[in-house]
């Protein structure tokens, strides 16, 4: 069916968003459907900031990081008359529905807008955290893993020269996907993730054991949301951001200090931060975003609202927004067990 589709990117940006926007526009255009891009996530929908997208206006985007539409963490449910203003935007531009490219927060709002308000939405999962349910991969994750792995590799050589412990803190919020993948890819000697509360004494023992067998340097990768086993170590309460969410970041300093105290080995900290969200998407992220964008446009034109594009077995299939947002997707125990084989 020929249709009129609104597109927005919400939540934290990541590499591959532009590739997804380009793919939606191209696929829609082939079927004579029309696309509109809302600026700055839900904010643009609520405030009527929108422009028509064309094949010409979305050329040259495939390799570019960030999002040409801009993004924000504005949640329509926390804004006055948020739902009504979304309905108005759809009506004013005579849109059949929206394709929302977002992470867990944006997709959860989308699910409720669909289930409770019957606002037609197709979701595309993106986040470097890779924690959206129902899909093996989210757009942006593999590029963040490449960046973090490169950091581990670089830390390796300087750690070895100085006989130091290098602590690398990576993002991931509630999930340890980036830490696990980059740690495994870079040969980390310990990986600390939210899924497996850590014992800092055991980490110290590992590193001492390594030194005992002649390995005088170590790499520790810690996810920003890693948690100690209860009663083993104190962590400071994180401050809140402007949306009331804990602003994570900084656990690496505590870990380095605790390691120095326990082992006497000199430790240094690198907090990779938003570097992980920037840069050009990897080929795999470009392909994933393209597959998902094309499929999302087709789902919209088929009227399959309330679904999200999910990556499974190298293909993209629709899953319900409900399935996608029911639970956060955490690092499975068997994958982490593989990583643990190489600790110490
Ligand atoms: O969800 C993606 C993410 O990069 C998290 O890994 C991180 O905790 C958070 O966003 C940072 O958010 P902000 O861009 O608001 O600093």
Average pLDDT over the chain reads 97
Contact 182, 152 (CB under 8 A): yes
* CB distance 129 to ligand 1 below 6 Å: yes
Query: Does residue 269 sit in the same domain as residue 307?
Result: no
Domain assignment present for 334: no
Residue 33 structural domain:
4-140+281-326
Q: What is the pLDDT of residue 344?
A: 74
End-to-end CA distance of the chain: give it in Å, rounded. Answer: 58
Q: What is the pLDDT of residue 76?
A: 97
Query: Does residue 103 sit in the same domain as residue 87?
Result: yes
In the chain, how many domains are there? 2
CATH number at residue 285: 3.40.50.450
Q: What is the pLDDT of residue 335?
A: 98
The residues assigned a catalytic role are: 129
Which residue's CA is minimally distant from atom 16 of ligand 1? 247
Which residue's CA is minimally distant from atom 15 of ligand 1? 12
CA 254 – ligand 1 centroid, Å? 20
pLDDT digits (tens, 9 = 90+) for 215-272: 999 999 999 999 999 999 989 899 999 888 999 999 999 999 999 999 999 999 999 9
Mean pLDDT, range 90-96, rounded to an integer: 98
Q: What is the pLDDT of residue 43?
A: 98
Q: What is the pLDDT of residue 242?
A: 87
Split at pLDDT 50, 70, 90, the class of 79 is very high
- The DSSP-derived string for 323-338 is HHHHS--PPPHHHHHH
Taking alpha carbons only, the member of 200, 331, 220, 201 closest to residue 270 is 220
Query: Does residue 109 sit in the same domain as residue 232?
Result: no
Angle between helix 283-301 and helix 141-162 axes, rounded to 10 deg:
160
Q: Does the pLDDT of residue 302 top 90, yes or no?
A: yes
pLDDT digits (tens, 9 = 90+) for 24-58: 999 999 999 999 999 999 999 999 999 999 999 99
Domain assignment present for 86: yes
CA 336 – ligand 1 centroid, Å? 23
Split at pLDDT 50, 70, 90, the class of 1 is confident
**Which numbered atom of ligand 1 lies nearest the CA of 171?**
6
Non-local CB neighbours of 56 within 8 Å, separated by 6+ positions = none
Report the alpha-carbon distance of residue 5 to residue 7 in Å, rounded.
7
Pocket probe mutation, ligand 1, options 11, 12, 224, max atoms within 8 Å of Cβ: 12
Q: Is the pTM of this model over 0.95?
A: yes
Q: What is the pLDDT of residue 243?
A: 85
* CB distance 127 to ligand 1 below 6 Å: yes
Q: Encoding tokens for residue 276?
A: 């992980």
Decide the pairing of beta strands 121-125 and 97-102. parallel
CATH number at residue 211: 3.40.50.460
Query: Does residue 287 sit in the same domain as residue 262?
Result: no
Query: Does residue 125 sit in the same domain as residue 168?
Result: no
Alpha-carbon torsion 156, 158, 160, 163, what sign? negative
Decide the pairing of beta strands 190-192 and 34-38. unpaired
Edge to edge, what strands does the sheet with 4-9 contain?
Answer: 50-53, 34-38, 4-9, 97-102, 121-125, 307-312, 315-320
Query: Does residue 56 sit in the same domain as residue 128?
Result: yes
Which residue's CA is minimally distant from atom 14 of ligand 1? 12
CA 240 – ligand 1 centroid, Å? 12
Query: Does residue 260 sit in the same domain as residue 287?
Result: no
Alpha-carbon torsion 128, 134, 137, 139, what sign? negative
Longest CA–CA separation in the chain, Å = 70
Mean pLDDT, range 311-323, rounded to an integer: 97
Q: Residue 118: left if φ>0, alpha if ψ -120 to 50, beta else—which one?
A: left
Query: Does residue 295 sit in the same domain as residue 258?
Result: no
Query: Does residue 107 sit in the same domain as residue 17?
Result: yes
Q: Encoding tokens for residue 215?
A: 């390995």
Strand partners, 102: 125
Q: Does the pLDDT of residue 99 top 90, yes or no?
A: yes
Query: Does residue 185 sit in the same domain as residue 263?
Result: yes
Query: Does residue 25 sit in the same domain as residue 106?
Result: yes
pLDDT digits (tens, 9 = 90+) for 158-190: 999 999 999 999 999 999 999 999 999 999 999
Report the alpha-carbon distance of residue 74 to residue 76 in Å, rounded.
6
Pocket probe mutation, ligand 1, options 72, 107, 129, 130, max atoms within 8 Å of Cβ: 129
């Amino acid at each position: 069916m020929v249709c009129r589709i609104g597109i927005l990117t919400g939540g934290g940006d990541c590499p591959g968003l532009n590739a997804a926007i380009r793919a939606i526009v191209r696929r829609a255009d082939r079927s004579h459907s029309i696309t509109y891009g809302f600026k700055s996530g839900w904010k643009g929908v609520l405030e009527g900031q929108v422009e028509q997208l064309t094949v010409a206006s979305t050329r040259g985007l495939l390799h570019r990081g960030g999002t040409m539409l801009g993004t924000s963490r504005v949640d329509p449910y926390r804004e006055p008359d948020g739902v009504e203003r979304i309905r108005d935007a759809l009506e004013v531009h005579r849109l059949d529905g929206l394709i929302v490219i977002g992470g867990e927060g944006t997709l959860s709002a989308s699910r409720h807008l669909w289930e409770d308000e019957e606002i037609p939405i197709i979701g595309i999962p993106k986040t470097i955290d890779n924690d959206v349910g129902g899909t093996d991969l989210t757009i942006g994750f593999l590029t963040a893993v490449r960046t973090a792995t490169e950091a581990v590799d670089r830390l390796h050589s300087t750690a070895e020269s100085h006989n130091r412990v290098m602590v690398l803190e990576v993002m991931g919020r509630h999930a340890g996907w980036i830490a696990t993948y980059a740690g495994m890819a870079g040969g980390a000697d310990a990986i600390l993730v939210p899924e497996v509360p850590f014992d800092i004494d055991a980490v110290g023992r590992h590193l001492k054991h390594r030194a005992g067998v002649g390995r005088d340097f170590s790499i520790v990768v810690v996810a920003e949301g890693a948690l100690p086993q209860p009663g083993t170590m104190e962590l400071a309460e994180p401050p809140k951001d402007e949306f009331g969410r804990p602003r994570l970041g900084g656990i690496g300093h505590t870990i380095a200090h605790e390691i120095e105290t326990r082992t006497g080995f000199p430790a240094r900290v690198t907090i990779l931060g938003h570097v992980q969200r920037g840069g050009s998407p990897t080929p795999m992220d470009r392909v994933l975003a393209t597959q998902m964008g094309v499929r999302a446009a087709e789902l919209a034109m088929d009227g399959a609202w309330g679904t999200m594009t999910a990556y499974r077995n190298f293909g993209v299939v629709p899953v319900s927004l409900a399935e996608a947002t029911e639970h956060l997707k955490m690092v499975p125990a068997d994958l982490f067990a593989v990583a643990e084989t190489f600790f110490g």
